[in-house]
Structure 1
Amino acid sequence: MPDPTEVRLGEYGSALLDIQQLTARDIERLHALQARGCLRLDRVPAGWRIKADATVGILVLDHVRLVVEPKFAIPGEQLMSWLSYALRAPTPLPATARRWATGPQGYADLVAAALLEQCEQLIREGLRRDYVSRQSLEPVLRGRLDLTAQVSRRYGQLDQLHVRFFARETDTWDNRILGTALREARGLAIHPDLVRDLHALADAFPQAPTPNAALRALDRVRYTRLNARYRAAHTWAHLLLRGGGVTDLLTDEGTRADGLLLAMPALWEAVVRRLATEAVAPHGGRAVPSSGATGITVQGDLGAVSAFRPDVLLSLQGHHAAEHTLLPVDAKYKRYDRYGVGAADIHQLLTYSAGYTSKAPPRAVLIHPHLGGHSHRLLQVRGPGGMLGSIHVVGVDTAAPPPQAARWIGSALPWGDW
């Protein structure tokens, strides 16, 4: 079978495909992705037009390998740093990044390389072993005799014994998850050296019966001092096995095993949650839940009760230790470095500010990605009765390291005065 034709387009870009390049199965999958807002598929006289949304990554179809590259806000070479920051996973070593980022393979190869790097480290340290229940036929007694099997299968003969015992092996779910992810990564990687290394390392790990079984094990895993060192490798494995889905970050179904898609707005929301929390920590601030007693709810309408929830709700310490002020922060993956803030977003931020800030005028923060440096501007909304609220519009330089961006947010805004 010939290799799929590679089609590359940028974020929010489009590409034209011939009618025969998409099979019925491809069209069904693309329509499913369109329903979730990942892309758009249109029938045109010349064939099919695929238009990417704010989703980047790779999708392997029957005859086409679709690669959507990040173009809008986060440069390709920085994407792994921001993804690692959002997932709280270690950033791949610079040597590893240079090893794979120099070619046109891009995001999928870098994620596979990040998993490979973590698995290689586990191999060097020694894979975790645990006691696993085994059944076998032995010439001598080992463990406990399986009387039922001995009587029904050996008919009283004692030259071979059916026994049950525990053996200390690497065939544990911690290792099966990684073995399954390494095998899935081989189908996504393009760089021949990377594919070879994934093949070689996958043989050192046991494999789960199915990828879904590995995902179920990931959902059940609990980390202790015995398996804490597996956390980073499991994070990258989760990303690959879900086709891009880690917690609430990415596409969560439909493209596993033959796709790796990253929803950039969800990634940006996860980044902003961590940036804002780390920015106010030196000032005595912290993130608090935006539901329950601190939620904004709408009641009395048709249907169920609805709610307004900012991406981050910060509790800021005032001039006195016992004094705290709530500050809503919202993440917008939009070109607010070039265009004015939209009316819908202003309405949303005014609702947050009116509901959470007690000091006049009500305040809220909007954080958006920015290329070529940080930015900060203040929007003031006035009505006939005076000031309705103010919105701090903060642009974060996505070319900067994430910890540096968090420090800049902490110093850019007058947190202590709020």
Structure 2
Amino acid sequence: MPDRRTEVRLGEYETVRLEWDQLSDRDTVRLRALQARRCLTLDADRTGWRLRADSTVGILVLDHVRLVVEPKFAIPGERLMDWLGYALGAPAPVAATARRWVTGPDGYAGLVAAALLKECEGLVREGLRRDYLRHDTVGPVLRGRLDFAAQAARRYGQLDRLHVRTFERETDIWDNRVLGTALRVALTLATGSDLARDLRGIAGAFPHAATPEAARNALDRIRYTRLNARYRPAHTWARLLLRGGGVTDLLTDGGATADGLLLPMPGLWEAVVRRLGTEAAAAAGGHAVPSAAGGGIRVHGGLGKTSVFRPDLLLRLPVPGTAEGHVLLPVDAKYKRYDRHGVSAGDTHQLLTYIAGFAPADRPAALIVHPQPGAPAHRALRVEGPRGALGVIHVLGIDTHASHEQAVAWIRRALEPRETSPAPA
């Protein structure tokens, strides 16, 4: 049956107007739950609803509206999925999904559904995992183990029907159930006939849970061994579809659910930068250290709770010739267009706080990593005060069309020892 919902498309931080009848009471509950998580803003006025997107992109299927929020960076579908798989430690999907995700009605949700489809097809070809499941049955012959307690309590010594307990190797286990449930969720998001047909075909090979909530809870309990390690990539994509919130959960914690797949782009960018920086530091002979070491930077004495400042990533880098033989470099991921405008005063203050808390006095430096379509760019902000140098903030733009191997090399070059004292203007 064709989807008769009205499709509404907008970009990050853009606003659209909706009529009163375009949102049901259940829709407003879902959107208010997302508003509480700072994913969007929903306001009412005399003429209808005003919906403003934040930095959460993706698709949300409501009762009368199919809402598609497009990213402000024009990232090809293949590269977006490559970055997402890199951040989650999952393999990238097939090249058939290499398209701009904003051009199709499925959007980003269609790409994740295709990635799940590819992994599930591979599992079916290899053979689904089976495990022994207990069955308590009543039959005319003894097969398995006789249940003496049930036989005595229910048959009163009669032997015409036997209560037996057997163990059979079956595919109806949670490793497979969560995938069957995720495939059915993907079917509700897919509008393309080819993708929907393939999803429907492969879904029949998998058992499914009674509810998506049961599948989500099972995913939280699954532990991987050599027996089910091959399921990890498929479970990664299934988790995105079942959670509906991408890198972080958006709806499930508040008890509200909706068909959709939403991705908080700042969270994705932070996850990508943490892994990029860790690999770049390893190539330079260093490593990442917990930014909460020593309690982080704490502010006491306020009227509220104690404030804590922690950079997204803290790197320990070897520097020969220094007193300790190494330096600490705070790194912060900013999902902002710092290729088009200068670093804000708030971010400058934030990075100076990190410098004061973590960087050595003789090399006061920090690094901002932001997405930048096109060629990478690296510039340094030298901050001075009346008494001299306060620090250097390196600003590195990573090309969103590049591979993560190239991005690691760019960060590796940015980590090379440099002169950090302010130069004259």
TM-score range, shorter chain: over 0.9
Q: Counterpart of 1:78?
A: 79
Written as runs of structure 1 = structure 2, the 5 A alignment for 1:273-288 is: 273-288=274-289
Q: Counterpart of 1:91?
A: 92
Name the amino acid aligned to 2:378: H
- Does residue 44 (structure 1) correspond to residue 45 (structure 2)? The answer is yes
For 1:186, what is the secondary structure of its paired residue? helix
CA offset digits 1:227-284 (Å, max 9, x no partner): 11111001001101100244x4766645645121111111111111011111121111
Q: Counterpart of 2:123?
A: 122
CA offset digits 1:100-133 (Å, max 9, x no partner): 9974422111111101110110011111111111
Q: Counterpart of 1:176?
A: 177
For 1:37, what is the secondary structure of its paired residue? coil
Shift of the alpha carbon at 1:42?
2.0
CA offset digits 1:204-227 (Å, max 9, x no partner): 111122212211111121111111
Name the amino acid aligned to 1:318: V
For 1:315, what is the secondary structure of its paired residue? strand
CA offset digits 1:19-78 (Å, max 9, x no partner): 111111111211221121111112234321211111111111111111112233644452
Q: Counterpart of 2:320?
A: 319
Written as runs of structure 1 = structure 2, the 5 A alignment for 1:389-400 is: 389-400=391-402
Written as runs of structure 1 = structure 2, the 5 A alignment for 1:87-166 is: 87-97=88-98, 103-166=104-167
Distance 2:74 2:383 in 1: 28
Contact 1:245–1:253 (Cα < 8 Å) also in 2: no
- Does residue 306 (structure 1) correspond to residue 307 (structure 2)? The answer is yes
For 2:106, what is the secondary structure of its paired residue? coil
For 1:287, what is the secondary structure of its paired residue? strand
Distance 1:323 1:74 in 2: 40
Distance 1:79 1:189 in 2: 18
Contact 2:364–2:392 (Cα < 8 Å) also in 1: yes
Distance 2:181 2:6 in 1: 26
Contact 1:77–1:101 (Cα < 8 Å) also in 2: no
CA offset digits 1:142-196 (Å, max 9, x no partner): 2221233323443433232111121111111111111111111111111112112
For 1:224, what is the secondary structure of its paired residue? coil
Structure 2 unaligned runs (5+)? 421-425
Q: TM-score w.r.t. structure 1 length?
A: 0.93
Contact 2:292–2:310 (Cα < 8 Å) also in 1: yes
- Does residue 215 (structure 1) correspond to residue 221 (structure 2)? The answer is no
- Does residue 347 (structure 1) correspond to residue 349 (structure 2)? The answer is yes
Distance 1:208 1:365 in 2: 46
The alignment-based identity, stated in percent, is 65
Moved more, 358-367 or 373-382: 358-367
Distance 1:367 1:249 in 2: 24
Distance 1:186 1:70 in 2: 23
Aligned residue pairs total: 417
Shift of the alpha carbon at 1:333?
0.7
Contact 1:87–1:235 (Cα < 8 Å) also in 2: yes
Name the amino acid aligned to 1:122: L
For residues 102 and 117 of structure 1, do their structure 2 counterparts lie closer, same or farther at Cα, with a shift above 3 Å needed?
Answer: farther
Name the amino acid aligned to 2:22: Q
Distance 1:395 1:68 in 2: 24
Name the amino acid aligned to 2:5: P
For residues 100 and 171 of structure 1, do their structure 2 counterparts lie closer, same or farther at Cα, with a shift above 3 Å needed?
Answer: farther
For residues 96 and 335 of structure 1, do their structure 2 counterparts lie closer, same or farther at Cα, with a shift above 3 Å needed?
Answer: closer
For 1:269, what is the secondary structure of its paired residue? helix
Among 357, 363, 366, the alignment partner of 2:365 is 363
